[in-house]
Amino acid sequence: MTHRHPSIKVSVLMPVFNERATVEHAVERVREVPMPMEIICVDDLSTDGTRDVLKSMLAQKRIDGLILHERNQGKGAAVRSALREATGDVIVIQDADLEYDPMDILRLIGPVEDGRADAVFGSRFKGDVSRVLYYWHSLGNWGLTTLSNMLTNLNVSDMETCYKLVRTDLMKSLPLTSDRFGFEPELTARLAQSRARIYEVPISYSGRTYAEGKKIRWTDGVAALWHIIKFNLLSAKAPLYRSAKPTVTPASGP
């Protein structure tokens, strides 16, 4: 698939916890994507030497920012820390575990860059190449996505996807509070409440096995279920978002 070079700057937010074996490669793969970017990493108190790797990468200017949490707070908290430092036109979250292909970010940018969308979800279930893994994970994802869709009145196919690209001003306006894996249903709920224009594009996915370092457990699914209910029914709503209008260049000459 051929992509043209994006004209907007992407802030890549990378939460990291005990990913010493993969984080350097993950950053290298992001850097290979032909787009204006900044990479902001957050170490969530890793205990395997990841923090030293990230400090070295910052010193070598391979990443543009590094935030060090002094206690483990979870993915959602790490994203919020990085978000405060982001200066790009759009935000995308990149896990450090190599399950997602950074080249797919170019697919996500398109609907925002041409003025159609305020947020774009990368769907693992839209027919692209994916590694075959766990049936019960996919069934759980379907159940959580279905419940989320019922409460948000959206029709997304993959609510739990990591790849959600959002306009920076919109992302910073959302009242995000979830610290851990409740972040995905919370962000989806907040985008729906803000009446953001949401698109989906297909992405590839190469999930890890537990032996390869996959961290999510069944308890995270139960927590996600609670967060879907909480952020859609039991908490204050996000403010409405006034979408930016496409820039129109005046015609020159008579």
Place of tokens 């994970």: 137
Helix, coil or strand: residue 200: strand
Provide DSSP, 32-69: TSSS-EEEEEEE---SSSHHHHHHHHHHTTSSSEEEE-
Q: Sign of dihedral through CA atoms 222, 213, 141, 77?
A: positive
Residue 128 confidence class, pLDDT cut points 50, 70, 90: low
Is the pLDDT at 27 greater than 70? The verdict is yes
- Structural domains for the chain: 10-208+215-234 (3.90.550.10)
Supply the angle between the helices 50-59 and 23-31 in degrees, to the nearest 10: 30
Beta bridge partners of 11: 38, 91
Lowest-pLDDT choice from 10-24, 108-122, 233-247: 233-247
Predicted TM-score (pTM) of the model is 0.87
* Cα–Cα distance measured from residue 89 to residue 213, given in angstroms and rounded to the nearest whole number: 32
User: What is the mean pLDDT of the segment spanning 68-95?
Assistant: 97
2-18 per-position pLDDT tens digit: 456 778 999 999 999 99
Place of tokens 């999930």: 207
Beta bridge partners of 42: 15, 67
pLDDT score at 202: 94
Is the pLDDT at 121 greater than 70? The verdict is yes
Beta bridge partners of 130: 205
Is the pLDDT at 54 greater than 80? The verdict is yes
| Segments in the chain forming alpha helices (H) | 23-31, 50-59, 75-83, 105-113, 135-152, 168-173, 183-193, 218-229
Q: Max CA-CA distance within the chain?
A: 68
Q: Are 199 and 154 in contact (CB under 8 A)?
A: no
